Amino acid sequence: MQRPNANPQQLPNGFSYQRMTLSAQKSLNLFYHLQQNLPWQQPSTTVYGRTGPIPRLQCFISDNEIEYGYSHSKLIIEPWPVILLAMRERLERHLKQPLNSLLVNYYRDGCDTMGWHSDDEIELGPKPTIVCVSLGAERVLKLKHKATNKVTDLKLHSGSTLIMHGDSQRDYQHAIPKQTTLAHPRISLTFRYILPTPS
């Protein structure tokens, strides 16, 4: 029999996945609370010379005095909501690393997406640890090895936690593709540590 937290999905080096880090009820409650209370933004970005709104909503939460050029868009910095501070502290204790920033993504349905990218901005340092907690609809995360183009699919269940660490950003790109038949929304909480900018 499978242990409830066992990882049935074979993952490349630098990725670790835990299915049930939050109960179904807690995940749903947190999903609705954040959906209703976060100040969602839909900034524009330029991809291959075309400027348009990003295909999802987002909210960037961070400690003061952090500059982050995520996807070359200007991010409005929000303060930490109390409801997310305990999760941040629990993850920091588990990782034995600080996490000073959180990019929250809100996929309103299966037509909202995140294109291929690596979280390899200079402000994240050489081997960043990024923790991604999923709430709501199950979505597929695609991982593509940069050298071989081999693609691995990982299902992200509500209440799960994916940790990307080591050389995962150097060696892989990741994306959340369209699932046009999916009507349900999903929120992902992506905790990171952004190096302070020298003044």
Ligand X SMILES: O=C(O)CCC(=O)C(=O)O
Please state, in angstroms and rounded to a whole number, the distance separating the CA atoms of residues 33 and 117. Answer: 28
Out of 119, 134, 162, 188, which residue is the one contacting Fe ion (CB under 5 A)? 119
Which CB, 75 or 119, lies closer to ligand X?
119
195 Cβ contact list (under 8 Å, min separation 6): 123, 124, 125
Determine, following the binding rule CB under 6 A, whether residue 102 of this chain makes contact with ligand X. no
Binding segment for Fe ion (CB under 5 A), chosen from 16-24, 66-74, 75-83, 114-122, is: 114-122
Residue 40 tokens, joined:
């969602």
Determine, following the binding rule CB under 6 A, whether residue 105 of this chain makes contact with ligand X. yes
Which CB, 119 or 121, lies closer to Fe ion?
119
In the list Fe ion, ligand X, none, the entry touching 99 (Cβ below 5 to 8 angstroms by class) is: none
Out of 61, 124, 137, 141, which residue is the one contacting ligand X (CB under 6 A)? 141
Binding segment for Fe ion (CB under 5 A), chosen from 14-22, 73-81, 119-127, 133-141, is: 119-127
- With beta carbons less than 8 A apart as the criterion, state whether 143 and 6 touch: no
Interior/surface letters 34-70, b for 16+ CB within 10 angstroms, e for the rest = bbeebeebeeebeeeeeeeebbbbbbbbbeeebebeb
Determine, following the binding rule CB under 6 A, whether residue 61 of this chain makes contact with ligand X. no
Determine, following the binding rule CB under 6 A, whether residue 57 of this chain makes contact with ligand X. no
**Within a 10 A sphere around the Cβ of 152, how many other Cβ atoms?**
16
Please state, in angstroms and rounded to a whole number, the distance separating the CA atoms of residues 146 and 9. Answer: 20
Please state, in angstroms and rounded to a whole number, the distance separating the CA atoms of residues 173 and 143. Answer: 6
Residue 93 tokens, joined:
């204790």
Determine, following the binding rule CB under 6 A, whether residue 176 of this chain makes contact with ligand X. yes
In the list Fe ion, ligand X, none, the entry touching 27 (Cβ below 5 to 8 angstroms by class) is: none
Q: By CB under 6 A, name the binding residues for ligand X.
A: 103, 105, 114, 119, 132, 141, 156, 174, 176, 188, 190
Q: By CB under 5 A, name the binding residues for Fe ion.
A: 119
